[in-house]
């Protein structure tokens, strides 16, 4: 349960960045999908029911600030998490490049799921055209953000390992 609450709080910070900070800094319609990156991280490095619940909660959080239907991103993020969990055991999760590759795949898969769900289940008009039009730039933006976040995490880890006292022999 602590994991779910922790990721929810992280997601809240991500949402604030997506909705209020990024538009001011980037001056364009696109915003980096930080919650998607978080879900992919969850899928690769977290296991079990709590991970799935956290992914779904992040989806609902995204729904609260995007679009008009609650549950759309919840379903997409949960699907993404489950797919990644299925693949994670077959992949070398120690590789830093894997996260970036998975972010790219996740962005594409999210677009496919969005087109399917909005095109077949709702009257969203020609939303598929908007999705496909913005997809290349969105993928690049997500990749850049994922790389920056991953670099920041690496720096934190290195800093922690340096501060840790040496073991006694």
Of 126 and 162, which has the nearer Cβ to another protein?
A: 126
Name which of residues 76 to 115 contact another protein (CB under 8 A): 114
CA atoms within 13 A on the CB side of 87: 19
Shortest distance (Å) from residue 78 CB to another protein = 17
Q: Which of 3, 10, 12, 30 binds another protein (CB under 8 A)?
A: 30
N residues, the chain: 169
Shortest distance (Å) from residue 33 CB to another protein = 7
Binding-residue total with another protein (CB under 8 A): 29
Q: Which of 75, 130, 143, 147 binds another protein (CB under 8 A)?
A: 130
Rule CB under 8 A: say whether 139 interacts with another protein: no
Nearest to 145 by CA among 103, 115, 92, 90: 103
| Cα 78 from Cα 56, distance rounded (Å) | 5
Q: Are 32 and 43 in contact (CB under 8 A)?
A: no
Residue 70, both tokens: 């609650």
């Amino acid at each position: 349960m602590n994991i779910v609450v922790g990721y929810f709080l992280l997601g809240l910070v991500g949402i604030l960045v997506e909705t209020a900070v990024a538009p001011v800094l980037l001056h364009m319609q696109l915003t980096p999908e930080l919650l998607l990156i978080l879900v992919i991280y969850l899928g690769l490095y977290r296991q079990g029911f709590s991970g799935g619940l956290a992914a779904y909660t992040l989806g609902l959080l995204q729904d609260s600030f995007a679009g008009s239907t609650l549950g759309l991103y919840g379903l997409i993020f949960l699907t993404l998490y489950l797919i990644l969990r299925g693949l994670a055991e077959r992949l070398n999760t120690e590789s830093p490049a894997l996260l970036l590759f998975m972010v790219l795949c996740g962005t594409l898969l999210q677009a496919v799921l969005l087109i399917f769900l909005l095109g077949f289940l709702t009257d969203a008009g020609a939303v598929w055209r908007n999705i496909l039009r913005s997809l290349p730039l969105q993928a690049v933006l997500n990749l850049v953000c994922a790389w920056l976040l991953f670099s920041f995490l690496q720096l934190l880890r290195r800093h922690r390992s340096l501060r840790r006292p040496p073991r006694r022999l």
